[in-house]
Structures are given as structure tokens and as C-alpha cells.
Amino acid sequence: MLAYVVLLIGAPLISVVQHALSLGFASFGASITAPVALQALLLTVRCAIEISLINALMGTAVAWVLARYRIPGKGFFSAVVELPFALPTLVAGVMLSTLFGPHSFLGKAAAASGVPVIFAKPGIILALLFVTLPLVVRSVEPVILGLDRAEEEAAFTLGASRILIFFWVTLRSLAPAITYGSIQCFARAIAEFGAVVVISGNIPYRTLTAPVFILGEVESGKTESAAAVSLMLLILAVLLSYLTRAVQRRLSTATG
Amino acid sequence: MRAATQKAAFVRWSVGQIVLTVVVLGYLSIVLLLPIGALAVQTVRGGSEVLRSLTEPEVIQSLLRSLLVAVAVTLLNTIFGLVGALVIVRQRFWGRRILDALVDIPLAVSPVMTGFAFLLVYGRGGLLTPVVEWFGWKVTFAMPGVLLATLFVTVPLSLRELGHVLAQLGMYEEEAAATLGASAWTTFWRITLPNVRHGLLFGVTMTAARALGEFGAVLVVGGAISGKTQTATTLIYASLEERRPVTAFGMAIVLCGLSAIVLLAMNLIQRRSVVPE
């Protein structure tokens, strides 16, 4: 078992690290601070942060409505929320491109109103939103379903308004799950390739994200640069993985 | 009991709740349903052209390659997922934590990086290149590389799901069976396996969906060489690049359809696993 995992997962990762540092730390540093590379990394991180915040808010809202309210078609919407997990990310990108493409109704409307979607940052945001939507919802919904209403009901009998109850009582219990989901969103967003590559147009300095940058470098044979940026993403991924486990531990003690 | 009081507590809609529901449903529709609708409309408009493109030999080949890889990967990683989950959850050994952490990594790694890493490992001067060459296999820019990269990406899916299920189940029943004299194999086959049934099915569907949809890693390792390493997803990408959107839409809709089937399967399994036994 150990052999399988080490060979399959460990070997490739080690190769990336080794290759990135093969020309020394100075070269590594130069690679990641090269203007295009740096901008790509910054754009990726910036988008990921925005996505995580939006998802923390909307994901919780979606989970709340799906868990607590009785709506016709709830099963349908529940299934729809799971959709991004079953769909290839590239297909998601293609869908968004047809929706907001230069020849489409929405695309032309967007361009006219000064907020272009395709080949621009809003397109990246939408693509990432599509792909990461289930993450927070999936994390928060079970917690909402398992909440002990006694606390909320006690607050209600003491005269608190519903909104107050939500923010002061319920949210405290939901916070670990929301955080966990958001971190997963962030990790997913920095790595996303398929959905982004089609809709963003991959314009350096403006819509070129780190994963797409890596692809470009690999295709032009600049493997050291690709390895360097890959290593940066890998470091981020490992940090996030560590963070996820820490939050997960808190989550299981909170609900346990 | 709690469920009954929860349902009963929801009697009248307040303005706030209506607004929230509208906002949420609207958000879901815009972010998720609208794009799907757009694709469907485009494909319908393409009509017979789309159908014709789907019968091209290259298209069918690509789809077959994707399906083959998906089946192989699902089989392998479900077995390894089960073994791995049993090992990680139930046994203590040196390196257990490392194994646990390693397994999580593919979820956070960018697919492009995965493909690139495999190019490094099995390419010129790679760590495992001597091994591969000794066997006479070709990994990079060939289907074995595609298979390996897809394996990498799907390792955590089954394993984690089964791990959760096993952790929740505990070793209760297995220990009881042991005291009654059952052999390890009998215990596994008649107690463990049926108990993890739902987790297993869930893992299978998730792995299959992910394997079918894998794009970035496959693109980089395989090189999307038409006729040799072109898979369903890379075909879509290549068709778009070559300004042949009809083929792209056609394949996209096919993959959509397959994903819908997977989604349905996931839903059915989830619903059945909630029923108390």
C-alpha cells in the first residue's frame, strides 16, 4: 500500500521539487518573480480569495435554504448543486463560453455595459464559482441539518429576533464548517485549469492564471520556469492541506 | 423526533425568508443552470451537424479511450481505496500519518502540475525512467501516462469516502465475528464489505466521474496526440482550438449526459443510504 502511494504520488511530486531547484535557489527565485509568472500567481491568488469569500456567503445561504426551508423542487436544486462535481471542468468552461461568448446575447450585452465577461476577469470568477459551488454547501449543509434547535428556540423565547439568532447563535456552530469549506474552495480555485483556460483567453498580465501559465511554459519547453511556479502552487497546496486537517479536527470535536 | 419538531416549526414564510429563498434559487440558476442551458441550446441549433461529428472515427476513438481509462482507474482505485482505507483507519504502523497526508495531496494539486510532474518523472532523466525503459514501456505522450495521471488524481476519492465510513462503523461486528470463529476472509467478505456497500458505490461514481472529466493532467502527459492519446476532454479542447466548435459541443453534450447519469447514480445511492436498516 505504501509502495503504491509513494510511487504514484510521491515520485512525481519529488520530481517537481527537484526540478524546480535544480538550478539553485537563485534561479528559482528569479523564475517566480519574472513579471508574467508573478502576475499569474497574484491573479490566481486574488481570484481564489474572492471566490472563497463569495462562496462562504452564498454557499452558507444555499445550504441554509436547502436544509431548512420547504420548497417545491428542493430535490432538483439539491442535485443541481452537486452538478459541478460530476461535470468535467472543461465542459463547464465551454458552457460559460457559449453563454457569454462574443456572438452571444449576454456576451454582447456585457461588453456594451462595460463589464466584459469572456476573456476577462469576471469570466474567471464565474468559472471558478461554478466549479467550487458545491464545496461550501456540502460542508455546511450536514451541520445545519444536525444542529440542535434547542439553543435557537431558547434565544427565541428570550425575545431575540430571527436575524439576531442566526448571527449570534447559529453562526457560531456553523463557523468551523464554513471555514473548512472555504479553505477547500481556495485550494480548488488556485488549481483550477479546465474551466478557466477556455473562458479567460489567457492574456498575460490580465487573465493568465498560474495553472495556464505552467501549461504555456511546459509547451514551450521552459521546464524550470514551469517547475518553479508549480512548486509555489505545491507549497500553497501543502499549507492548505495542513490547514484543512487542523480545521477538520476542530470540526469533529465541535460536532462530536 | 427532532425531525418532526423541525418540520413543525416551519409554519409561515416571513418576508426575509422569501427574499433569501429567491436570492439563493436565483443564484443557483444563474451560476449553474444558465450555462447548461446555453450549451444545450447551442447543441440543438447545431442539430444534425453535431450528430454527424459524433460519428467521426477520431471522435469515437477519443471517447473510447476516455471510457477505457475511466473503467481501469475506477477499478484500480476502488480496490486500492478499500485496502488503503482499511489500513489507514484500522492499523497502526510507522508512516501512517505520512500515508494519510500523501493521499490528500492530489485533491489540492493543479491538474496541469500533475501532468507536468509525470512528464518529469517518466521523461528524459526522470526518477522512474530507467525502470520504465527496462520494461520497454512508453509512458509520456502515451496512454500509460494518461492512465497513471488519472490514477494520481482519483486516489483520494474512494479512499477518503471509505475511510469515513469505516471510521464511523468501528470494528464491533468484525470483532464479534472473530470471537465466533470466522476467518479473516469470511469476516471481510460477509461483514465488512456489505457494511461499506454505500460508501463503495459512492466512491465508484465519484472516481468514474472524475476520471472521465480529467483534462489538464491528461493534456500535459498525453499531449493530446490525435489517434494516440486524444481523450474525450482533450478532443473538446483541440476542436475549439482548431475552430471546429460543432465537434466540441457534441462531445461536451455527450460528457454532460454521462455526468448526468453519474449524478443520478450518486443521488440514488445517497437516498438509499439514509434509509435506516
B237 touches chain A (CB under 8 A): yes
Query: Choosing among A45, A98, A108, A199, which should be mutated to test the B contact, i.e. which has the most B CBs within 10 A?
Result: A98
Tell me the mean pLDDT in the region A199-222.
84
* Unique residue bearing C-alpha cell 524550470: A224
Question: Looking at the predicted structure, is the pLDDT value of residue A110 above 50?
Answer: yes
Position B72 confidence tier, pLDDT thresholds 50, 70, 90: very high
A158 touches chain B (CB under 8 A): no
- For residues B80 and A7, the model is more confident at B80
Question: Looking at the predicted structure, is the pLDDT value of residue B99 above 90?
Answer: no
| Separation in Å, CA A100 to CA A110, B15, B33, B87, B256 | 8, 33, 14, 48, 19
Q: Please indicate whether, in this complex, the C-beta atoms of B119 and A230 are within 8 angstroms of each other.
A: no
B75 touches chain A (CB under 8 A): no
A16: nearest CB among B20, B106, B113: B113
Question: Looking at the predicted structure, is the pLDDT value of residue A100 above 50?
Answer: yes
Q: Please indicate whether, in this complex, the C-beta atoms of A95 and B36 are within 8 angstroms of each other.
A: yes
Tell me the mean pLDDT in the region B135-151.
83
A37 touches chain B (CB under 8 A): no
User: Quick check: A120 and A40 in contact, CB under 8 A?
Assistant: no
Tell me the mean pLDDT in the region A130-143.
90
Nearest-CA distance from B102 to chain A in Å?
Answer: 7
A218: nearest CB among B101, B116, B240: B116
Closest CA relative to residue A137, chosen from A79, A82, A60, A71 = A60
A88 touches chain B (CB under 8 A): yes
Question: Looking at the predicted structure, is the pLDDT value of residue B276 above 50?
Answer: no
Q: What is the structure's pLDDT at B11?
A: 59
Chain B residues close to A104, C-beta within 8 Å: 38
Full-model pTM: 0.84
Q: What is the mean pLDDT of chain A?
A: 83
Q: What is the structure's pLDDT at B246?
A: 83
User: Quick check: B235 and B58 in contact, CB under 8 A?
Assistant: yes
In this structure, of A40-54, A153-167, A184-198, B25-39, the range with the lowest mean pLDDT score is A153-167
Q: Please indicate whether, in this complex, the C-beta atoms of A95 and B35 are within 8 angstroms of each other.
A: yes
Burial of A149 (0-12, 13-18, 19+ CB in 10 A): middle
Position A230 confidence tier, pLDDT thresholds 50, 70, 90: confident
Q: Please indicate whether, in this complex, the C-beta atoms of A71 and B21 are within 8 angstroms of each other.
A: yes
User: Quick check: A199 and A123 in contact, CB under 8 A?
Assistant: yes
pLDDT digits (tens, 9 = 90+) for A142-197: 888 888 888 888 888 888 787 777 887 788 888 888 988 899 899 899 989 988 88
Position A251 confidence tier, pLDDT thresholds 50, 70, 90: low
Residues 161 to 200 of A: which have CB under 8 A from any B CB? 162-163, 187-188, 190-194, 197-198
The per-type count for chain A, helices as H runs and strands as E runs, is 14, 0
